Amino acid sequence: MRFSLLLLFPILLLTGLAACNLDVEQVPDRYEYLILPDQSIVATPDTTYGGTTGTPDSWNYELEDGDTHVALYIFETQGEPTAIDDEVFLQFFFEFDPVPNSFILQDSVLWNARCMLDIDCYCPPIVYRIDSGKIIGTKLDEDSWHFDIDVQYFPNPADRTLSVPLQVSEDFHVIK
């Protein structure tokens, strides 16, 4: 009798779940393309995560008044409504000189522009410095730039054979 109840329980459970109306609202993903004028990025190594390659695996950063602009791409998703721990909040940002009408930042120059990727998910938050790829910026008007971003980050800085791409081609607008 006990054995038959154990077999019957999963069937009853699945039937009951199928009969339920799981009215879970899907929250749309959020994308923002911003320019923070007259700012600069201060980056310091985050010793919390160590530095297996002689460079930190993660970074701390803050914005301060400066003579550059900071481009900021934000992506946020709540994931699947019925899944646990699949939420992601991503911020990608870099400094640029607003004076020329166009520019290219590529590979090691990305490091000097403090190009960074901040990822918060169900895992510990980590901030990557980006030093691989290309960003092309074109000024549209005083308050808008178009950026073509094609960069890679390395989840394990000690092993640069595995890279993850980030590609964005959008108009960014100055926050006033």
Domain boundaries, the chain: 25-174
Q: What is the CA radius of gyration of the chain?
A: 22
For residues 151 and 164, what is the distance between their CA atoms, to the nearest angstrom? 8
More confident residue, 91 or 57: 91
3 by Cβ neighbours in 10 Å (0-12 / 13-18 / 19+) ranks as exposed
pLDDT digits (tens, 9 = 90+) for 93-150: 999 999 999 999 999 999 999 999 988 766 666 788 899 999 999 999 999 999 999 9
User: In this predicted structure, what is the pLDDT of residue 12?
Assistant: 39
pLDDT higher than threshold 60 for residue 54: no
pLDDT digits (tens, 9 = 90+) for 119-134: 876 666 678 889 999 9
Q: Which candidate, 167, 173, 170, places its Cα nearest to that of 146?
A: 170
Q: Which candidate, 46, 61, 59, 50, places its Cα nearest to that of 158?
A: 50
Q: What's the pLDDT band for 35 if we cut at 50, 70, 90?
A: very high
pLDDT higher than threshold 70 for residue 152: yes
Bridge partners of residue 93, in order along the sequence = 72, 116
* 138, amino acid identity: T
Angle at alpha carbon of residue 83, lines to 57 and 124, rounded to 5° = 15
pLDDT higher than threshold 60 for residue 74: yes
User: In this predicted structure, what is the pLDDT of residue 123?
Assistant: 66
CA–CA distances in Å: residue 70 to residues 10, 11, 77, 135 = 54, 56, 23, 13
pLDDT higher than threshold 60 for residue 24: no
More confident residue, 3 or 123: 123
